[in-house]
Homo-oligomer: A and B are copies of this chain.
Amino acid sequence: MANSDERDTDVPVETREEVARAIRRSLAKHGYAALTTKKVGAESEKSESTLFYHYETKDDLIAVFLRSSIGWLSEQLETLDIDDPVEQLTTACELLLVDPDDEHMRAINIAVMELLSHAPYNETLREPLLEYEHHVLDTLADILRDGIEQGVFHAVDPDATAAFILSTTDGSTGCVLALEMDDTGEMIRTRLFEYIESELLVQNTQ
Contacts and interface: CB of A to CB of B under 8 A. Distances in A.
Contacts of A107: 120
Interface in A156-176: 157, 159-161, 163-164, 166-176
B163 A167 contact: no
Contact of A191 (B126, B164, B181): B164
Interface string A186-201: 0110111001001100
A178 B114 contact: no
Number of copies: 2
Interface residues of A, number: 50
A94 B150 CA distance: 35
A65 to B, nearest CB: 16
Interface string A100-128: 00000001001101101111110000100
Given A130-B181, A188-B167, A191-B161, A113 B110 contact: no
Given A137-B184, A168-B168, 8 more contacts: A32-B117, A114-B114, A116-B179, A120-B180, A160-B190, A169-B171, A170-B171, A198-B199
